[in-house]
Structure 1
Amino acid sequence: MTTPPPGPVRLEAPGVVLRAFGPGDVDDLRAAFVDEEIARWNPAPTGPDAIGRFIASRNDWTDADQASWAVAGPEDRLVGSVSVHKIDRDQGDAEVGYWTAPWARRQGYAVRAVTTASRFAFGELGLRRLYLFHAVENGGSCAVALAAGFRHEGTLRESYRYADGVHHDEHLHGLLARDLGMGSDR
Structure 2
Amino acid sequence: MTPGPGPEGRSGPEPWTGAGVVLRAFEWSDEPDLAEVFADPEIVTWNPGPPEGALAFMRERNDWSAGTHASWAVADAGAGPGPAGRLLGSVSLHKIDRDQGDAEVGYWVAPWARRRGVGAAAAAAAAAYGFERLGLHRAYLFHAVENTASCAVARRAGFALEGTLRQSFRYADGRHHDEHLHARLVTDD
Equivalent residue for 1:177, pick from 178, 183, 186: 186
Equivalent residue for 1:8, pick from 3, 13, 32: 13
Structure 1 residues 139-148 or 10-19, which shifts more? 10-19
Contact 2:161 2:183 in 1 (8 A): yes
- List runs of 5+ in structure 2 lacking aligned partners: 79-83
After superposition, what is the alpha-carbon deviation per residue over 1:36-76, rounded to whole angstroms, capped at 9, x for unaligned?
Answer: 000000131124xx211100000000000100000011211
TM-score, normalised relative to structure 2: 0.91
Secondary structure, in 3 states, of the residue corresponding to 1:170? strand
The alignment of Structure 1 onto Structure 2 pairs a total of residues equal to 178
Amino acid at match of 2:65: T
**Mapped partners of 1:29, 1:63: distance in 2:** 24
Tell whether 2:57 aligns with 1:54. yes
Matches within 5 A, 1:61-100: 61-73=64-76, 74=78, 75-100=84-109
Q: CA deviation at 1:28?
A: 0.2
Q: CA RMSD in A?
A: 1.2
**Mapped partners of 1:111, 1:154: distance in 2:** 19
**Mapped partners of 1:97, 1:107: distance in 2:** 18
Secondary structure, in 3 states, of the residue corresponding to 1:157? strand
**Mapped partners of 1:88, 1:76: distance in 2:** 31
**Mapped partners of 2:112, 2:145: distance in 1:** 23
Q: CA deviation at 1:134?
A: 0.1
- List runs of 5+ in structure 1 lacking aligned partners: 181-186
Tell whether 2:36 aligns with 1:31. yes
Amino acid at match of 1:35: D
Q: Runs (4+) of structure 1 moved beyond 6 Å?
A: none
Matches within 5 A, 1:158-169: 158-169=167-178
**Mapped partners of 1:6, 1:121: distance in 2:** 16
Contact 2:108 2:119 in 1 (8 A): yes
Identity of aligned residues (%): 58
